[in-house]
């Protein structure tokens, strides 16, 4: 399949939901079942769950399909409606939904703001001019990484949707709280019927696979922690061995070692070792059973851990004794 064509036709739904306190774990299990059901529908490319953070107060699920038609078939399906009926006991109020068609997937772990506007048909030209002004002002702020504007989608969404991307939350907050943004908002007062949602993807750079013309969603927090551990152990031990001849005091050795390990983990260990080794476990294909994927993945983790443990035992007791 032509990945550029796929990217251009792909459709993404961003759904936010407040969850009743104390029911978060049950909701997560329910949402995983919903995502598994979505994977059985034609055109499914992926689904991502994101718990609340300091940037996003809602639980967020993102669905990505290869076309609006396939996304609409899932969103309006009897299967999904039935699952929503069983999950309503977890919801604290109605959900919000934004849909975008086409667009590009960012290659870096950016913070994204999704803004939806209701625009009267007679005001579309004014709205587009106002959006251009907003984008021009926004591009002058540090950390700005781009903006995309999406028209309403007939039969699925009446609102215009805009995506703003910044490199981190601090730079985003500087823009959102700026007097310049308030001035532009005042100029577009007739477009003040909007909803704003922030999506934090701050850990994406360590898990940046590209599959089928898209950036796959990040793995769960548990998988992330295990994967980092798999990469961190050999990195730290090898650095300790490499730096030991310098005989630095403990405080300085840890300072230098942590600095080097951060760079090595980010630019070598994670992308070229861990991501490749655990690729099928961190991001299994939509149709692969979760039990099988977890069994294989944890088996690889166990085997690699034993391997490095034996290697470093031999090296540090038989070949190289640390001072």
pLDDT at 221: 76
Pairing between β-strand 144-150 and β-strand 160-166 as defined by DSSP bridges: antiparallel
| 129, 130, 131, 137: CA torsion to nearest 10 | 110
pLDDT at 2: 40
pLDDT at 61: 87
Cα–Cα distance for residue pair 36/31, rounded to 1 Å: 9
Hunting for tokens 């909701």 — which residue is that? Answer: 27
Which domains can be identified in the chain, with CATH numbers? 1-106+201-217 (3.30.70.100), 110-195 (3.30.70.100), 219-319 (no CATH)
Pairing between β-strand 59-65 and β-strand 11-17 as defined by DSSP bridges: antiparallel
**Residue 95: φ, ψ to 5°:** -85, 160
pLDDT at 55: 66
Query: How many residues can be counted in the chain?
Result: 323
Note down pLDDT in tens along the chain; length 323 residues.
Answer: 343 444 456 788 888 888 999 999 999 999 999 999 999 898 888 888 888 877 677 888 888 888 888 888 888 788 888 898 898 899 887 777 777 766 544 444 567 777 888 888 888 888 888 888 888 888 888 888 777 777 776 666 677 878 777 877 788 888 888 899 889 888 888 877 777 766 655 434 444 444 433 344 567 778 888 988 998 999 998 988 888 888 888 888 888 888 888 888 888 888 788 888 888 888 776 556 778 888 988 999 999 999 999 998 888 888 776 55
Q: DSSP letters along 263-313, please? A: HHIIIIIIIIIIHHHTHHHHS--TTS-HHHHHHHHHHHHHHHHHHHHHHHH
Tokens of 190: 């007739």
């Amino acid at each position: 399949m032509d990945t550029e064509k796929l990217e251009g036709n792909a459709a993404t739904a961003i759904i936010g939901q407040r969850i009743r306190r104390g029911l978060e774990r049950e909701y997560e299990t329910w949402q995983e079942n919903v995502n598994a059901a979505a994977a059985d529908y034609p055109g499914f490319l992926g689904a991502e769950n994101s718990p609340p953070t300091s940037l996003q107060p809602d639980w967020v699920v993102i669905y990505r399909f290869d076309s609006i038609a396939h996304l609409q078939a899932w969103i309006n399906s009897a299967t999904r409606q039935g699952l929503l009926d069983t999950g309503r006991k977890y919801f604290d109020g109605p959900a919000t939904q934004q849909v975008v068609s086409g667009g590009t997937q960012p290659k870096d772990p950016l913070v994204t703001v999704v803004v939806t506007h209701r625009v009267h048909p007679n005001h579309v030209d004014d709205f587009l001019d106002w959006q251009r002004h907003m984008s021009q002002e926004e591009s002058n702020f540090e950390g700005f990484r781009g903006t995309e504007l999406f028209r309403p989608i007939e039969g699925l969404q009446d609102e215009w949707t805009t995506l703003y991307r910044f490199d981190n939350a601090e730079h985003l907050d500087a823009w959102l709280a700026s007097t310049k943004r308030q001035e532009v908002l005042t100029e577009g007062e007739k477009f003040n019927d909007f909803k704003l949602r922030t999506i934090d993807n701050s850990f994406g750079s360590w898990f940046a696979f590209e599959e089928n013309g898209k950036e796959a969603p990040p793995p769960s927090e548990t998988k992330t922690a295990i994967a980092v551990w798999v990469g961190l152990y050999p990195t730290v031990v090898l650095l300790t061995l490499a730096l030991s001849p310098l005989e630095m005091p403990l405080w300085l050795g840890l300072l230098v070692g942590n600095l080097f390990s951060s760079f090595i983990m980010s630019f070598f260990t994670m992308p070229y070792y861990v991501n490749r080794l655990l690729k099928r476990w961190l991001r299994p294909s939509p149709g692969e059973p979760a039990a099988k994927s977890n069994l294989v993945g944890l088996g690889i983790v166990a085997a690699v851990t034993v391997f490095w443990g034996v290697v470093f035992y031999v090296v540090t007791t038989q070949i190289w004794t640390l001072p």
